[in-house]
Amino acid sequence: MTDHLKLFFEPRSVAVVGASGTPHKPGNDVLQNILANEYEGDIYPVNPKGGEILGMDVYASINDLPDNVDLAIIILPARANPQAIRECAAKGIKAIVLAAGGFAEVDEGGTALEQELIRTIRETGVRVIGPNTSGHTSTPARFTSSFFPQGAIPRGNISFLAQTGNFATHTMRYIKTGENFGVARVVGLGNKVDLDESDILAYLGDDPETHAICVYLESIKRPGLFLDTARRVTKKKPVILLKGGTTQEGAQAAVAHTAAMASDDRVLDGALKQAGVVRVFDYSHLFLAAKAMAAMPLPRGNRVSFMAPSGAMLVVLTDLCQQRFGLEVPQVEERTRQRLQEISPDFLRMRNPVDIWGSATIHGVEFGYREGMEAVLKDDNIDAVVPILMLTEKTGVPPLDFIVELARKYPEKPIYATFSGDRKYMDEGKAFLEPRGVPTFPLIEEPFEVLSILYKCRRALEREA
């Protein structure tokens, strides 16, 4: 199994069956993506017309390919897939990505075709991702099989495993253009006629390039194996799961999407907790948590300090931390309280959370936030710090180097920044901080939601069972 999966994630050669010279067709976009990522292996486009595509010689058929190409990406109509698999197997190709839809997710005819596909896979012994997948990505190998117009994909240490193609398509496009972290491996499972979430999770669990795994599933093909695998993997690295199809209507949508049959959600929820998998319920949390994990360590505990320029924010966020997010807002040590009092007006009684605006008004925004943050970062009662920065032209927009310096000075405590004020300066703050290793969140509740998720990951890693 490991060797077969290595062919998907570290292919030395790839055939694109159904390659096209027409821009914006899937068979052309996949070639463009492979080239854009500077893949260093051999590329063999296959099209009956032959000729040349993007400067590469085209093979008229699979039979004309060299023997033992590592991986084939098949972008052909659904009915052509079984024969294409047989031809690939005859040429020694053992790993195949099937892009086509039109199988069990469509109708009874598609179900029969999918059964033929399964028989063909078993008879030939090939391993398959898909069908009905938009592909997979392996940035350490500078490779992608995605046919969505993507271009170069940034490398990082987070992997996504999804029973949907959108992590390899528009979500990856958002991460690439709207966030500042990269990925290691991304796999769209599709209909899972062969390789499924248990296979890929086992690979990612042993993958040194993957430090954390974010998962979206609509069904679990082999629940026992998946939970056993997850129990082992979550002792080494975080696994965060969003499960779709938990309502009757959602389950019906899942059938139409990937022919997935959802399981009893209450039973699954308990089993996932026992296996150390941290479950989320918002789609955006998968990439918000990924952003945080890519930049910062997991929090050691759930004790948070935050500072805001508004008393209302302090009150509301304290309630949210304790009532909804399972976070503590503890008292700080006396030396910390004294330092906070020293930099603040006498009429403010300083505590955690920190009303920072008095200090910022007297000493300047940069001084107030810098000194306040350092005081709580030194505190043994605090595991993570969230500065809520008010950035407006009238009140001042300080240079944010001090936050980067504090993150480097106290690397064991995550700092998640969020903002209030002029959107222009909020965007500039994100653009400055994130490439320097400090994750930011546009909505003030988000860093606390993420801390809650990642604290659960910490507990899973340290559990005894």
The whole-number pLDDT of residue 4 equals 81
Q: What are the distances in angstroms from CA 176 to CA 204, 289, 349?
A: 21, 16, 44
pLDDT single digits (tens) 95-111:
999 999 888 777 788 88
Residue range 12-41: mean pLDDT, rounded: 97
Q: Are 33 and 150 in contact (CB under 8 A)?
A: yes
CATH architecture of 297-462: 3-Layer(aba) Sandwich (3.40)
410 Cα distance to chain centroid: 25
pLDDT digits (tens, 9 = 90+) for 118-144: 999 999 999 999 999 999 999 999 999
> How do residues 205-215 score in pLDDT, each as one tens digit?
999 999 999 99
Contacts from 201-207 at CB under 8 Å and sequence distance 24+?
201/161, 201/226, 201/229, 201/230, 201/233, 201/239, 202/1, 202/229, 202/233, 203/2, 203/5, 203/9, 204/159, 204/161, 204/233, 205/229, 205/232, 205/233, 205/236, 205/237, 206/2, 207/9, 207/159
pLDDT greater at residue 63 or residue 1:
63
Alpha-carbon distance of 201 to 214, in angstroms, equals 10
Residue 150 has pLDDT above 70, yes or no: yes
* Cα separation, 203 vs 270, whole angstroms: 24
Rounded Cα gap, residues 408 and 167, in angstroms: 31
Rounded Cα distance, 8 and 10, in Å: 6
pLDDT at 261: 43
Q: What is the mean pLDDT of residues 391-420?
A: 95
DSSP conformational letter for 113 = H
Token pair 């930049």 in the structure block, residue: 295
pLDDT of residue 111: 87
Instruction: Give residue-wise pLDDT tens across range 355-367.
Output: 999 999 999 999 9
C-alpha 385/C-alpha 348 separation (Å) is: 21
Looking at every residue in the chain, the average pLDDT score rounds to 93
The residue-averaged pLDDT of 239-252 equals 73
Angstrom distance (rounded) from CA 415 to CA 338? 22
Q: Whole-prediction pTM value?
A: 0.93
Q: Positive or negative, the Cα torsion across 306, 181, 273, 241?
A: positive
Give per-residue pLDDT as tens, 274-322: 999 999 999 999 999 999 999 999 999 999 999 999 899 999 999 999 9
The ranges of the chain annotated as CATH 3.40.50.261 are: 2-293, 297-462
CATH of domain 2-293: 3.40.50.261
Instruction: Identify any residues that bridge with 304 across adjacent strands, giving them in sequence order.
Output: 384
